[in-house]
Each structure stands twice: as structure tokens, then as C-alpha cells.
Amino acid sequence: MAACAACAVRLNPVHNQIRIRANTASGIYHGLQTRYDGRIGRQLLLGSSYTYSKAIDNVSEVFGFLGQGSLVVSQNPFDIGRGERGLSGNDLHHVWTMNFVWDLPFMKEQRGFLGRMLGGWSASGIYRRTGGRPMQPVQFSSGTPTVTDRDFNATFFGYFDSLRPFSANPNAEVRSLGFVTPAGQLVDYNNRNRPVTLSDVRWVFNNLDAARYFGTPFGAGRGVLRGPKVSDGDFAVFKSWKIRESWSLQYRFEATNIFNHPTLGVPNLQADSGTTSTWLNATETEATPRIIQMGLRLTF
């Protein structure tokens, strides 16, 4: 890693590539956990839990390569603690779940033909809603000169840059990306003839000229973005008929992802992936679509 933004050489040129693996990760977690379990009348079991928490660390999962914009090295190899401190990859500020089991109260004795058909039904369900997981953008180091040590990167984890893009205006469009020219001018990443300001873009591509522009080669911190939220619910209805002393028939109706809510996966986090219309665009779906199934089970 260079000692300044104007040069891209090792601090001590006598040494070759040096890789150190050590147990240097640390983290803290604070949370408020609440839970309710109760019965309403003699028919409805209801449960709900809510967790408000915050998890902070300096590395979350080194083997989850690019899963959330995570690399196996820090931006500054001489500051792996405070320099990488940020929201943990598994930080979920809000987690809420609700579940119920409801024994429908009418005709529970199932007397007569009508009672056998309309009585004895039960319903159950579970719903879960969480916030998105933290993530951060990354970039390649194979195209534009940066302050990173490319030979080191290519040897140990490929041509991804250990330096992250700079964060500009957090209120700008999340895909807007700036680029600093050799003349020190800030322009649009995809249209180098169009000048922009730091207020116009959410990010600035981290190259050698951007390092001079900002006076530091180290870009945005960890966990500066949030992934898509998760909302998922399952529902079931079932009923049993007593046929004989040891014979019973059960009908089940089950629906997973009952609301057919899409759960988007981690988007493309690579800033220089081609165009800014493709990166940070979460189109992959992790959750399966709604599935409905019915069945009969005979027990004897």
C-alpha cells in the first residue's frame, strides 16, 4: 500500500508480497428482545417477538467473497481495527415475527353430518419481517490505476480492489457514480464529457486521481448500504375426522409465502461493472414464489 495518494509503491520496497492470517476480528452486539406468548379464550394461541439490535465488527465473513461487498483484506493493512469498524454483515436492526394457532370454536363436537363438515377446523400461520442486511460497494483494480497493490490482490484474491469507492452525497440517486480525471475534474462515470459535483453523485470511483482529489486513498466504510427487506408469511388450515376408534382422516391446506412477496437478493455491488444502470440493481430473488398444496392423510 502506498504511503501517499501520489504514489503506488510499497512502503518498504525490500519486502515482496506479505500475507498475514490472524485472529484479529472483534465485534459487539447490543439488543432489546421482547416476546409475548398467550392464549385468547380457549381457542387462539398467539405469539409475537420483536428484536431491536445493532451489531458492529471489523470483519464479518472472509469466506463470503463479495456476498455483501465483503473482501478478505482491509483497505488499510496498517489499520485493520478502527479503519474497518462498521456494521456487521449480519446486523438486522429490526426483526419481528408473529405466529398463531386458532381452533375454530363452532361445532367443535362435530355432531351430525353438518357438524362433521363444518366443525373441527384449525388454522395456523407465521409471519416474519426484517430489515435489510448491511453491504458496501466494491470495484475492480484491473482497469484504472489505483493506490492498491495490484500484484498482491491478483495473487491472493483476484483483481478486485481492496479500496472501496468514495461516498459523496448520501441523498443522491444510489446508482450515480462520479469519476475523477487526471486533470482533477469530477465527471460522470459513464459520460466523461459531463462535469458533475459531489452533490450530484452518490459515489466516486476510487482511482489514483480520486485519491489525490480527496487527499486519502481510503474510500467508504463497511456497511454503508442496506440490502432489501425480508417479508415472508406461511399459512395452513387443517381438519380431522374421526372415522372409527383407530381410524381418522385429516385434510391439510398449506401455503408458503402466502402473500407472494418477492425477497430480492444481494444486488450487483461492483461499481465498475459496465454501466451504473446495472450495479446496485437487486433483481435476483432469494425467496421461492407462493406455493399452495393440499392433501389427505388416512391414519389407522
Residue 84: how many CA atoms within 13 Å on its side-chain side? 27
CA distances from 234 to 96, 124, 175, 283 (A): 15, 8, 34, 23
In contact, 8 and 42? CB cutoff 8 Å: no
Q: What's the pTM? A: 0.78
- Per DSSP, the residues of 187-229 read EESS-TTSB--TTT-SEE---HHHHHHHT-S----TT-EE---
Tell me what the pLDDT averaged over the chain comes to. 84
Poorest-confidence range of 19-23, 208-212, 218-222, 290-294?
Answer: 19-23
How far is 74 from 69, CA to CA, in rounded Å? Answer: 12
Pairing verdict, β 203-204 and 177-180: parallel
In contact, 244 and 106? CB cutoff 8 Å: no
pLDDT tens digits, 81-110: 889 999 998 899 999 999 999 998 877 777
How far is 211 from 5, CA to CA, in rounded Å? Answer: 5
**Dihedral in degrees, nearest 10, Cα atoms 148, 153, 157, 162:** -10
- At residue 78, the 3 state secondary structure works out as coil
Single out the residue of 238, 237, 234, 239 nearest to residue 255, CA to CA. 234
How far is 10 from 2, CA to CA, in rounded Å? Answer: 5
Single out the residue of 70, 82, 192 nearest to residue 205, CA to CA. 192
Residue, of 3 and 107, whose pLDDT is higher:
107
Within 25-149, residue ranges assigned H as helices are 112-118
Looking at the predicted structure, is the pLDDT value of residue 23 above 60? Answer: yes
| 13-37: b (≥16 Cβ within 10 Å) or e | eeeeeeeeeeeeeeeeeeeeeeeee
Cell of 233: 408469511
- At residue 112, the 3 state secondary structure works out as helix
In contact, 1 and 11? CB cutoff 8 Å: yes
Residue, of 176 and 158, whose pLDDT is higher:
176
